[in-house]
Every structure is written in structure tokens, then in C-alpha cells.
Structure 1
């Protein structure tokens, strides 16, 4: 018996084999209440996680240009299949992942821009699937610009649609805490998450 098996054996001995006395929750909420504004709730929860939430009620490309200018972004990774009309007039080095880009190249790239497969209002979570590009694209650049269309927002986790794998669930910028509970951002992914929340049609 190895150390792992020994630990598991001791845990099992402590809790016993009869699990019938442990109550099973039956009141999980499977959808948001009828009067919930899920777009507002998503914006609020995403901001709680320190994402920069920006409402877009005009041309999405114009807002992307504005963000790039404000954050002084000079290089952006572009997933395969990303809508080109969102990049119109963008003054930055656009690194398309058609080859794909190397890890070293991504590490030198300031930002990545994607859409999302879905978003969850209750948790402020963004879901990225295979159609949003390789996982490395959204882990290595320091800034992630994510276009979230309001028709892709659902109320709760059980309502989230099945997303082609690999799927990445994001709730705010990458962050962790050290032993003294000092928050450190950008350890396991982008330290800056900009959410462009829009009801503008996806078409060019």
C-alpha cells in the first residue's frame, strides 16, 4: 500500500461506509428568476471579478480600436476564424494563429481578442470553446479582449450550452493569493480582461 492508498483508507475508515445519513441537496437553482436582467447581472458579476466591462452600442470595430489605443496595445493574437470586420482600421501588429503561433511568439504578444461561446450571468463567467481558438492564445498574452454578445448570456450554470472542447471557463482576470492573502494577478493567464458587452449584430 502506497501513501495515497493509506490516506484514502484512513479517510474511509473515519467516515464509514454508510452514506445514507448525508442529505442530498435538491434545491439547486437551474434558471434565473423570471424578473432577472441577466445582461445587467452578468456585467455586475464580471466587474466584481475585476474585469473591465464596456458597453458597446455602436460599431464594435470602433470600440476595439478605442481599447487598443487606451491600453497602448501594439500586438494582438487573432484566433483562426475570428471576424475580420472587428479588426477594421486597427493599428497594431495582428498575429493570426493560422500556422499556429509559437509559444515564444505568443509570450511576446501583448493581447488576444476573441468572442465567447457563452457567458453566465450568475457567476460572471465567460466560456471559450474550440471555435474561439487554441487555449494557449488566451493564456499567454497579458491582456484579453473578449466580445460578449448579449444573446449568448444565460442565467445560471445549468443553462450553459454544451461547448465544443477544449472549453475554458473564465471569471475575471487570472489571479491568485500568496500565503499572506496578497492578491497577485496574471500568474496563470492574462492580468487584464476587457469585456466588450454588446447587442450589436455579429454580421459585417
Structure 2
């Protein structure tokens, strides 16, 4: 059967199924009940952070914890442990985060190509928020997060999550805070895919290695003096 014939057949079925629906009727005329749970159970902030860490670990990400004062030292340790020498950073990443790190910092720009990104060792970003129940981190391209490309091409991603103000319990709570018009990237562990025989291959669609740093304490992290400039898009 040709493509045109298949299309006509499918649309014909749709029209027959809607034959008794008045032309003026719209989906909003029949509201769908939305009484499902917004969150599963009640948790303290510490319990939510522990749940996020457990899910991320299960997804084969490496989770680190620190207070606000210890963030720069921990980032130095993580990057050194991965053997990182060249690190790409998005516009708006606090300068103090990489203070003292023995790395070449590559500032992202629209001219930084995928080939150039493939030559760096790591990328360090913040995030928009994280979801405890699913072990998911969400980036929206804002300051300190950058273009989607910089978190997909490098083989190693270090993502910083402030648990005091960036951690929510559930996806419904996350959607209430996120802007649907922004480029949202949902990350649940390192990139991985499996074939029909369940052979796992990592790094096909993004970084093979994901380090997540959970920062407890104040919302303001030492060194939070943003790099000037608007984050590049694309």
C-alpha cells in the first residue's frame, strides 16, 4: 500500500470515528479529571535529597555531597579524578566554582563547534532543578547551563544541584516551575542505550560519565559571581 493510500485510510477511520461529534465541539468542552497524585508521600528535604541520590546512583551516575563552602574543592577533586585537562563552561557559570582547578577553562560560544566540544574532557554546569522521585535533572539553557550541545557532546558532565532551592519531589511539581518555552533537557543518569539483547552501550546519545554534586546549605554558593554575558542559544 502506498503512502498516500495509507494516509487516506487512516484519516478515513478518524473521520468515521468522529462522525457523531458536532463540528463546533472542542476538547476543552469535556475536561479530563486531573485528580492524580502530585507527589507520592511526604518527605523531609533530607529524605528528598537521599531519594534523588539513590535514583542517580542506580542509573550509574556518581553522586557527591558537599556544603556550599566545599564546592570549589570538590569540583577540583572530581575533575582531577577524571583526568580532565580541558573543561568547557557555559556563560553565567559562577567563576568561583572552578577556583584553583588545574584545568584549561574553555568558555562556550556560538562558534564552538561539535568537533571542538568533542576535544574537551569535561563540562561543568548548574541546572534548573532536579526531581527526587525520578532521579532526573533538568536544564533549561539558562545562565550556568548553556546550550544543549555542550552537555551532550563532551564525554563527562559535572552537574551542580543546590538542594535548598532546586530540588522538587515530583514531575508535576517540576512542570509548575519550568518554562515550557525554554529548551528543556531532562537527564536521568549517563547516556545509555540497549539493543534487543539488552547489551548496554554508554555514551551514544550524550556523556558516558555523569557526576552530580548535591550542594546543601544556603542558596547562594560561594563564588557565585556570574560570568558576564548572555548564555548562547542553540
TM normalised by structure 2 equals 0.77
1:1-204 alignment, distance < 5 Å: 2=4, 4-5=6-7, 8-9=10-11, 27-35=35-43, 37-57=47-67, 58-131=69-142, 132-150=145-163, 151-160=165-174, 161-163=177-179, 165-200=182-217, 201-204=220-223
> Which secondary structure state, in structure 2, belongs to the residue aligned with residue 2 of structure 1?
helix
Structure number, greater radius of gyration? 2
Q: Is 124-133 or 158-167 further displaced after alignment?
A: 158-167
User: RMSD across aligned C-alpha pairs, in angstroms?
Assistant: 2.4
Q: 1:33 offset after TM fit, Å?
A: 2.1
Cα separation, partners in 2 of 1:179 and 1:43, compared to 1, 3 Å: same
Q: Is 98-107 or 45-54 further displaced after alignment?
A: 98-107
Q: Which runs of 5+ in 1 are unaligned?
A: 19-23
| Structure 2: distance between partners of 1:56 and 1:184 | 31
**CA deviation vs aligned residue, 1:29-87 (integer Å, no higher than 9, x gap):** 21242235211111111111111111112421100000011111111110011100001
> Which secondary structure state, in structure 1, belongs to the residue aligned with residue 137 of structure 2?
strand
Q: Which runs of 5+ in 2 are unaligned?
A: 21-31, 224-234
> Which secondary structure state, in structure 2, belongs to the residue aligned with residue 130 of structure 1?
coil
Q: 1:106 offset after TM fit, Å?
A: 0.3
| Structure 2: distance between partners of 1:153 and 1:186 | 26
> Which secondary structure state, in structure 2, belongs to the residue aligned with residue 119 of structure 1?
strand
Cα separation, partners in 2 of 1:7 and 1:145, compared to 1, 3 Å: farther
| Structure 1: distance between partners of 2:61 and 2:13 | 40
